[in-house]
């Protein structure tokens, strides 16, 4: 179906009326904050999912021997006991983009999430359960007891949350299916019809998590008080798994691009901005893979230069993905009659300044918390 016809059908039927209160700040400013905070949310998510997967596999392999393998068990415990902290970042860094996405795309995202209401709300419970399971993992790891089964359970719940997010963020782009979904089940206790873009979208985050999360575990080998054999293990295994997953991620990226509708792909390729971003994503993934090779081949401990290079390449890969993903959303919604850049704006600079000041104060607070955490007595001492 061509784009103007699609737009007229969808516009006539599905999008709720524009909110009578205009945006209190320019669209670009909301987008800057959204993209920045979503990059941080995804980075934390990668550390959580990648770290949990690796640590669970290592714990399983370590505990399956007739005598538990000290190195595997220690390495799994070192990573697993950090994950409750990482989870706090996943959650807290998820809230700002949720607010910004609602402000910018409320007409689409509210409608989509209301249509799967019970499933969407179940995320709150699932996150609490995931948190509980991570604490259980951490406690058992400290006691040197096998915990991989709890790790698997945590992973399953976390995957569920990720799947709900991918479903909701896909559904907000499909106003053409909203009326039939409501007619079929107004209580919202059902998933939307199959969408070829959803699974690659989900896989981008999950495979990315294995790649970037494994590199994160490898970088954790720089922690001073870890035993040398655990440091080497984290570095070599993290680097290897990271490299393998990034090769797969390149393929998933191609899959994600190819499953987009023609008008989205053409729109991305017609824009210099998005072409640069697509090339940047490929380049940063390749650089992160090069960093993974360098890390696992590093004789002795990890150098600061290699660590910084890997972190920067991984973060920029995530940031370029966030911007491309944003392009897919804008092109899709614009073709269906909702151009976010045309949203009514009435900038209230007092509110903007207050917001920026409180954000800076908040970031200083987070910096202070990190400093306190760094100075705290490390739990890893119990593994050595
Ligand atoms: C274990 C917990 C979590 C997991 C596994 C998770 C996973 C994900 C995944 C896979 C996506 C990408 C979806 C897509 O590409 O379509 C995503 C996006 C998002 N997540 Fe999380 N998430 C978690 C917690 C949270 C929390 C607690 C919040 C907020 C309170 C949050 C806010 C968001 C937002 C706002 C987006 C998308 C924003 C956008 O599209 O603009 N997440 N999350």
CB of 46 closer than 6 angstroms to any ligand 1 atom? no
With cut-offs at 50, 70 and 90, classify the pLDDT of residue 28: very high
Report the phi/psi class of residue 65: left, alpha or beta, with left for phi > 0 and alpha for psi in -120 to 50. beta
d(CA 30, CA 240): 38
CB of 155 closer than 6 angstroms to any ligand 1 atom? no
What is the average per-residue pLDDT within 210-221? 96
Residue 366 CB neighbour total at 10 angstroms: 13
pLDDT score of 384: 47
Angle at 161 between CA 128 and CA 204, to 5 degrees: 140
CB of 98 closer than 6 angstroms to any ligand 1 atom? yes
**pLDDT above 60 for 222:** yes
Evaluate whether 224 touches 304 at the Cβ level (below 8 Å).
Answer: no
With cut-offs at 50, 70 and 90, classify the pLDDT of residue 14: confident
Residue 9 CB neighbour total at 10 angstroms: 15
Average pLDDT in the chain = 93
With cut-offs at 50, 70 and 90, classify the pLDDT of residue 12: low
163-172: pLDDT as tens digits: 999 999 999 9
**pLDDT above 80 for 365:** yes
Judged by DSSP in three states, 345 sits in strand
Structure tokens at 21: 């209160």
pLDDT score of 378: 63
375 CA to centre of ligand 1 in angstroms: 30
With cut-offs at 50, 70 and 90, classify the pLDDT of residue 10: low
278-291: pLDDT as tens digits: 999 999 999 999 99
- Residue 381's closest CA among 272, 214, 227, 268? 227
pLDDT score of 225: 86
**pLDDT above 70 for 361:** yes
Judged by DSSP in three states, 21 sits in coil
301 vs 146 pLDDT, higher one: 146
d(CA 362, CA 160): 30
Structure tokens at 46: 């990668």
**pLDDT above 60 for 189:** yes
pLDDT score of 366: 85
236 vs 380 pLDDT, higher one: 236
325-345: pLDDT as tens digits: 999 999 999 999 999 999 999
What is the average per-residue pLDDT within 18-26? 89
CB of 91 closer than 6 angstroms to any ligand 1 atom? yes
pLDDT score of 5: 53
Orientation angle between helical segments 198-219 and 304-335, nearest 10 degrees:
170
**pLDDT above 60 for 1:** no
**pLDDT above 90 for 382:** no
42 CA to centre of ligand 1 in angstroms: 8
CB burial of 206-229 (b: ≥16 within 10 Å; e: otherwise) equals bbbbbbbbbbbbbbbbbeeebbee
pLDDT score of 301: 75
What is the average per-residue pLDDT within 108-114? 96
pLDDT score of 224: 82
Q: Which atom of ligand 1 is nearest to the CA of 329?
A: 40
298 vs 201 pLDDT, higher one: 201
**pLDDT above 80 for 7:** no
Of all protein residues, the one whose alpha carbon is nearest to atom 30 of ligand 1 is: 95
Q: Which atom of ligand 1 is nearest to the CA of 204?
A: 15
CA distance between the termini of the chain: 63
CA count, 13 A, side-chain hemisphere, 283: 10
pLDDT score of 227: 93
**pLDDT above 50 for 248:** yes
pLDDT score of 21: 87
Residue 152 CB neighbour total at 10 angstroms: 18
Evaluate whether 61 touches 69 at the Cβ level (below 8 Å).
Answer: yes
CB of 213 closer than 6 angstroms to any ligand 1 atom? no
């Amino acid at each position: 179906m061509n784009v103007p016809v699609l737009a007229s059908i969808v516009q006539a039927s599905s999008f709720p009326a524009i909110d009578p209160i205009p945006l209190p700040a320019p669209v670009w400013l909301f987008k800057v904050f959204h993209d920045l905070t979503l990059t941080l949310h995804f980075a934390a998510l990668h550390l959580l999912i990648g770290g949990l997967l690796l640590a669970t596999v290592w714990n399983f392999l370590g505990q399956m021997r007739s005598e538990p393998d000290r190195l595997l068990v220690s390495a799994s415990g070192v990573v697993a006991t950090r994950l409750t902290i990482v989870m706090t970042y996943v959650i807290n860094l998820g809230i700002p983009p949720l607010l910004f996405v609602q402000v910018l795309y409320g007409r689409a995202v509210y409608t989509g999430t209301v249509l799967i209401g019970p499933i969407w709300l179940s995320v709150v419970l699932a996150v609490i359960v995931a948190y509980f399971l991570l604490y259980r993992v951490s406690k058992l790891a400290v006691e040197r007891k096998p915990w991989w089964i709890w790790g698997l359970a945590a992973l399953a719940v976390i995957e569920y949350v990720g799947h709900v997010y991918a479903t909701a963020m896909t559904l907000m782009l499909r106003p053409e299916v909203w009326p039939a979904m409501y007619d079929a089940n107004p209580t919202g206790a059902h998933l939307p019809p199959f969408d070829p873009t959803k699974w690659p979208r989900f896989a981008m985050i999950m495979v990315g998590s294995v790649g970037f999360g494994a590199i994160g575990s490898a970088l954790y080998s720089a922690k001073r008080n870890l035993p040398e054999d655990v440091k080497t293990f984290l570095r070599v295994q993290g680097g290897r798994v990271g490299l393998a997953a990034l090769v797969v991620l390149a393929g998933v990226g191609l899959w994600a691009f190819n499953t987009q509708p023609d008008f989205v792909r053409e729109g991305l390729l017609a824009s210099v901005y998005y072409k640069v971003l697509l090339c940047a994503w490929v380049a940063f993934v390749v650089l992160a893979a090069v960093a993974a090779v360098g890390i696992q081949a590093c004789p002795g401990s990890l150098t600061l230069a290699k660590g910084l290079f890997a972190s920067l390449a991984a973060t920029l890969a995530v940031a370029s993905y966030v911007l491309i993903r944003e392009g897919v959303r804008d092109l899709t919604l614009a073709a269906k009659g909702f151009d976010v850049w045309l949203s009514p704006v009435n900038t209230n600079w007092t509110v903007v300044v207050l917001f920026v000041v409180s954000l800076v104060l908040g970031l200083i607070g987070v910096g202070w918390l990190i400093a306190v955490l760094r100075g705290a007595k490390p739990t890893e001492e119990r593994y050595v």
